[in-house]
Amino acid sequence: MADFPVEYRPDDDSYLYEEIATQDALNLRAEQTQSFMLGLDNQLFIDDLSIIPRIFQQLYCFHYGLAHLGMTSVRDVMGKLLGNWTGGASAVNIFTGLKNIIPVIHRPQIASLQFNSPGHIELNLLPNLALSIEQVAARLSSPIRTKRADALYKNTYSYFKDNGLSGFDDERGLEVRDISPETLENIVQRVRIFFKCFGWTDYHSKFNLIDAHPLQQLRAVLAYYRRLKILNQYIIDDKLEIGRSRVVGR
């Protein structure tokens, strides 16, 4: 603040009144956070206590971006993070960038942490986003749906390899080239099928609002799926329960 011109500094009693606040700001203020549990149980190592909240936060950030694509600022940032089709940001940067667009009041905040097998991480966050993660995780915990999603992922890997496209299966930058109309349509269809697997009927139309090539859209969805699989393995191993703590029964 020392180098900031005095005439531009706010007064000590300055407030952001509703009369001068943007509609987006007012809408964000209306979204209230609530308590949400990540139940923990059985044998966990210190790495697990780092991985579980980190992956959950990354999924939360992705859902936040999708849920707020109606806001121009969020939509523009997601478009930049995905990159234009002649290049690409890494998948890690996508999730880091999405975290940075979330207002502090909406970021997952630890309210309590308890573990004595069972235990929990109690978070304060937007409940609708946490619920959407809980729902997609439960959906893909079904052996049949998991098998279908894995088959789609592996088939996409093979398809990209056969068509000379690489980079979608790891965290590096994406290599792209001229894509034929047939290949482009195939990519668009794969994004649509993944969204159907996730049960995201409302998200797909919003996702198309992003100014990004379908190849980048698919890459983001695949990055999301890889993270969801990590979290789901904890659920399958009975080490994690999203939305409920066995300690407090909620």
Residue 195 domain flag: yes
User: What band does 230 get if pLDDT is binned at 50, 70 and 90?
Assistant: very high
What's the predicted TM-score (pTM) here?
0.84
Structure tokens at 105: 């009041």
Q: Does 2 score more than 60 pLDDT?
A: no
pLDDT for the residue numbered 84: 44
Residue 188 domain flag: yes
Over residues 141-163, the pLDDT tens digits come to 888 999 999 999 999 989 988 88
Residue 113 domain flag: yes
Rounded to 5°, angle at Cα 201 from 66 and 194: 80
CB 98 within 8 A of CB 78: yes
Hunting for tokens 């707020």 — which residue is that? 68
Mean pLDDT, the chain, integer: 83
Please give the residue range of the domain that contains residue 226.
6-242
Residue 247 domain flag: no
Over residues 4-13, the pLDDT tens digits come to 566 556 666 5
Residue 58 domain flag: yes
pLDDT for the residue numbered 85: 39
- The number of distinct structural domains making up the chain is 1
pLDDT for the residue numbered 248: 86
Residue 192 domain flag: yes
Over residues 186-227, the pLDDT tens digits come to 999 999 999 999 998 878 778 888 878 888 888 889 999 999
pLDDT for the residue numbered 96: 84
Q: Does 135 score more than 90 pLDDT?
A: yes
Residue 249 domain flag: no
Residue 1 domain flag: no
Q: Does 90 score more than 50 pLDDT?
A: yes
